[in-house]
């Protein structure tokens, strides 16, 4: 297992790792060979974690990792390991946790210093090549950490022991506590207080979409009728949809905005953000009918299908940079707009904030924050202008695309696209969602039914994480609801069984990694939403839906145990666990809809048009029956017509055969 002293990233599949294969740093991929070398040479490990679309990762690479002198220092003092956080979320989660325990804010690039046993003792994120902005220069950090490792090993060992013990404690939760209705209501009130009611979103700059938190507030609005909850969500959605965080030419949302007004994006586009926002905007459109939300859903799905396809699956991200410049692909000058649009340019500039001096670093980020939606004629003119600009932009140097397919992120987009297809009656979107699901099954699942986390260039990583099973099972259940196909339900049950067999903690909840995965310094277990919904939060939803669809009590017990495992934490940290809290509400207040009989299209369409996040829909095929313990078991069509039953708890509505009456019953069922 001898490791040659050179850069060893050239054979990796990760686009992020391949970006660094020509660095003068002797980068090694994570694995036993690199760890053995660190032990053999008694060198500390410099662990650098990032991802392909990360702007500050690129900055640190250009400033430090491409610099011969800094690289020589790294090569002399450390074994340097490079990790793609998207490909190895298990590694990233451990060392992000260690950085938080050191009292520092996490993020990427993550720069951690480890013992040869991979135990952390110090770290940070981005370091500049020379001291500035209150940050030490990276060469000074390299020398200082190495000196501490050699000359004060007792301090290093003290840090190491404290951090590893604290990391182990993070997976040990307190006594189980159910999340009840009062906890859910309190969480919504707490989140509402955090909303910026001037500009939307949570807190101050930088601002992230945080769709799960907004969905928690939206559920509270539907449940209570309190307009403040609804206003907090619609204000945020409108400001994001009209702001510069949205790509008005090509569709899709950037990862976050650096300012409080949503004007200046951090330009990378992530698959998961766009999946979450498609889902949120679909729910808002169902209730409000706002054209803005419908347009953003259609444009974002259009962007995904146009720019993110890998076979029938979806790529991970688009970079923030092109030609080594952040946002260059997306911004415009007034002269470019005038030349492209001619006589229409004045109207376009007035609506999209195009100024002679620009609105960001001398250029213009297109946005509609200041001007409301216009009349139909003007909107048609603006649409033609956007089409022209899209064609013009196609000639620019494109940002890099990370074309690896991740099972969990694909699951999120598949579910969102399927739900949007159901709401907007778009058979084409549903076909793409089903094709993406089939792609993951064909390319990322073994003969034993076990998933792989990442797929690229015909190669797949060896082991899935919990999120892959949770998100793909959730996608399967969404496809089952909107298509009625039993194969999707069976697939979700199979993946849930694998999660129980290999990821479940007997104390409740699930570990991120399987019991037969690579052994790391700790096995993490968390329900905190990161940029993506937590695997435990999503698995609680999956188990709840499986219980209502199958009637098997074991699913309910697992959902209850998962939620209770993090119940005490949910009371303390409502901002961090909205997905789990939303799943707890589904467990408490599922609205089960059963449709039986022939000619049910009008009733199904009525269901599709109502914002009902707690919906569990069953369209009974001829010759099939509900589970014996279902509250609507034994009920059938009335008067030879397709008939619906709406059940909350053990109580079901009278039979409903008129679409309008069903819609009213569904809206009534949302209320506490």
Q: What is the dihedral of CA 369, 266, 300, 482, to 10 degrees?
A: -120
| CA distances for 206 relative to 111, 311, 433, angstroms | 21, 35, 32
Share in percent of the chain as helix, strand, coil (round to 5): 50, 15, 40
**H or E element, residue 300:** helix 291-307
Residue 2 is predicted with a pLDDT of 47
Joined together, the tokens standing for residue 60 give 């640190």
Residue with tokens 């914002």: 611
Joined together, the tokens standing for residue 372 give 């409301």
Nearest-angstrom CA–CA distance, 361 and 365? 10
Share of the chain above pLDDT 90, in %: 95
Across 49-62, average pLDDT: 95
Length of the chain: 672
Q: How many helices (H) and strands (E) does the chain have?
A: 25, 21
If phi > 0 it is left, if psi is from -120 to 50 it is alpha, else beta; for residue 653 that is beta
Judge contact between 218 and 229, C-beta under 8 A.
Answer: yes
How does pLDDT run across 230-283, given as a tens digit for each residue?
999 999 999 999 999 999 999 999 999 999 999 999 999 999 999 999 999 999
Residue 78 is predicted with a pLDDT of 98
Say if residue 196's pLDDT is above 80: yes
Confidence of residue 105 (pLDDT cuts 50, 70, 90): confident
Residue 578 is predicted with a pLDDT of 98
Nearest-angstrom CA–CA distance, 15 and 127? 22
Nearest-angstrom CA–CA distance, 314 and 502? 27
Say if residue 647's pLDDT is above 70: yes
Nearest to 173 by CA among 579, 586, 572: 572
Residue 4 is predicted with a pLDDT of 53
How does pLDDT run across 527-564, given as a tens digit for each residue?
999 999 999 999 999 999 999 999 999 999 999 999 99
Mean of the per-residue pLDDT values of the chain: 96
Across 573-602, average pLDDT: 97
Confidence of residue 646 (pLDDT cuts 50, 70, 90): very high
Residue 133 is predicted with a pLDDT of 83
Residue 622 is predicted with a pLDDT of 84
Nearest-angstrom CA–CA distance, 353 and 282? 27
- Domains of the chain, first to last: 15-170 (3.40.30.10), 201-403 (no CATH), 591-669 (no CATH)
Residue 174 is predicted with a pLDDT of 79
Handedness of CA 608, 610, 611, 615 (dihedral sign): negative
Joined together, the tokens standing for residue 667 give 């809206």
How does pLDDT run across 460-489, given as a tens digit for each residue?
987 999 999 999 999 999 999 999 999 999
How does pLDDT run across 351-381, given as a tens digit for each residue?
999 999 999 999 999 999 998 888 999 999 9
Residue 621 is predicted with a pLDDT of 86
Q: Is the link from the previous residue into 206 a cis peptide, with omega within 30 of 0?
A: yes
Nearest-angstrom CA–CA distance, 106 and 99? 6
Q: Is 494 exposed, middle or buried (0-12, 13-18, 19+ CB in 10 A)?
A: middle
Joined together, the tokens standing for residue 304 give 């995904």
How does pLDDT run across 410-448, given as a tens digit for each residue?
999 999 999 999 999 999 999 999 999 999 999 999 999
Say if residue 186's pLDDT is above 80: yes
Residue 623 is predicted with a pLDDT of 84
Nearest-angstrom CA–CA distance, 101 and 85? 19
Residue 1 is predicted with a pLDDT of 42
Share of the chain above pLDDT 70, in %: 99
Nearest-angstrom CA–CA distance, 24 and 668? 65
Instruction: List strand residue ranges (DSSP E) for 385-456, in order.
Output: 401-402, 405-406, 454-456
């Amino acid at each position: 297992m001898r490791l040659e002293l050179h850069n060893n990233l050239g054979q990796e599949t990760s686009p992020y790792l391949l970006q660094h294969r020509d660095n003068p740093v002797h980068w090694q991929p994570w694995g036993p060979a690199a760890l053995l070398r660190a032990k053999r040479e008694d060198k500390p490990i410099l662990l650098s974690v990032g991802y392909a679309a990360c702007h500050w990762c690129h900055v640190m690479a250009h400033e430090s990792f491409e610099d011969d002198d800094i690289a020589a220092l790294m090569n002399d003092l450390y074994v340097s390991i490079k990790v793609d956080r998207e490909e190895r979320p298990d590694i990233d989660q451990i060392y992000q946790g260690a950085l938080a325990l050191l009292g520092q804010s996490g993020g990427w690039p993550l720069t951690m210093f480890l013992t040869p046993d991979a135990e952390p003792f110090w770290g940070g994120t981005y370091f500049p090549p020379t001291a500035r902005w209150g940050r030490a220069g990276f060469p000074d950090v390299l020398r200082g950490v190495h000196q501490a490792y050699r000359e004060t090993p007792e301090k290093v060992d003290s840090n190491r022991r404290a951090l590893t013990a604290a990391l182990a404690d993070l997976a040990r939760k307190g006594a189980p506590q159910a999340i009840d209705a009062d906890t859910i209501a309190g969480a919504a009130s707490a989140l509402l207080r955090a909303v910026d009611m001037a500009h939307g979103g949570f807190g101050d700059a930088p601002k992230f979409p945080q769709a799960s938190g907004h969905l928690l507030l939206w559920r509270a609005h539907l449940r209570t009728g309190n307009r403040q909850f609804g206003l907090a969500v619609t204000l945020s959605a409108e400001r994001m949809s009209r702001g510069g965080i949205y790509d008005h030419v090509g569709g899709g949302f950037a990862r976050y905005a650096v300012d409080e007004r949503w004007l200046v994006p951090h330009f990378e586009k992530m698959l998961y953000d766009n999946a979450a926002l498609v889902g949120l905007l679909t729910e808002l459109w169902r209730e409000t009918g706002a054209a803005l939300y419908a347009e953003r859903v259609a444009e974002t799905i259009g962007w995904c299908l146009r720019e993110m396809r890998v076979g029938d699956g979806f790529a991970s991200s688009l970079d923030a940079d092109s030609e080594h410049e952040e946002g260059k692909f997306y911004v415009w000058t007034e002269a470019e707009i005038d030349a492209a649009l001619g006589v229409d340019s004045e109207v376009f500039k007035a609506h999209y904030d195009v100024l002679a001096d620009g609105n960001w670093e001398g250029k213009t980020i297109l946005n509609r924050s200041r001007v409301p939606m216009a009349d139909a004629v003007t909107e048609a003119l603006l649409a033609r202008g956007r089409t022209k600009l899209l064609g013009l932009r196609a000639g620019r140097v494109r940002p890099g695309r990370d074309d690896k397919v991740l099972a969990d992120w694909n699951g999120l987009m598949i579910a969102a696209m399927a739900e949007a297809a159901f709401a907007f009656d778009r058979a084409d979107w549903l076909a793409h969602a089903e094709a993406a699901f089939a792609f993951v099954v064909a390319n990322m699942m073994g003969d034993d039914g076990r998933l792989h986390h990442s797929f690229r260039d015909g190669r797949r990583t060896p082991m899935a994480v919990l999120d892959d099973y949770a998100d793909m099972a959730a996608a399967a259940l969404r496809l089952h609801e909107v298509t009625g196909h039993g194969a999707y339900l069976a697939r979700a049950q199979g993946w849930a069984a694998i999660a129980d067999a290999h990821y479940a903690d007997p104390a409740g909840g699930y570990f991120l990694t399987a019991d037969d995965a690579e052994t790391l310094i700790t096995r993490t277990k968390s329900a905190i939403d990161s940029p993506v919904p937590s695997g435990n939060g999503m698995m609680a939803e999956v188990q709840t839906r499986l219980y209502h669809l199958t009637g098997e009590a074991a699913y309910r017990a697992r959902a209850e145990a998962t939620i209770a495992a993090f119940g005490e934490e949910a009371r303390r940290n409502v901002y961090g666990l909205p997905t789990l809290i939303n799943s707890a509400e589904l467990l408490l207040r599922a609205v089960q809809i059963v449709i039986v009989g022939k000619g049910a299209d009008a009733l199904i369409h009525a269901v599709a048009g109502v914002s009902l996040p707690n919906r569990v829909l069953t369209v009974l095929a001829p010759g099939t029956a509900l589970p014996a313990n279902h509250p609507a078991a034994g009920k059938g069509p009335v008067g030879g017509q397709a008939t619906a039953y709406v059940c909350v708890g053990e109580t079901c509505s009278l039979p409903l055969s008129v679409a309008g009456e069903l819609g009213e019953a569904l809206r009534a069922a949302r209320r506490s």
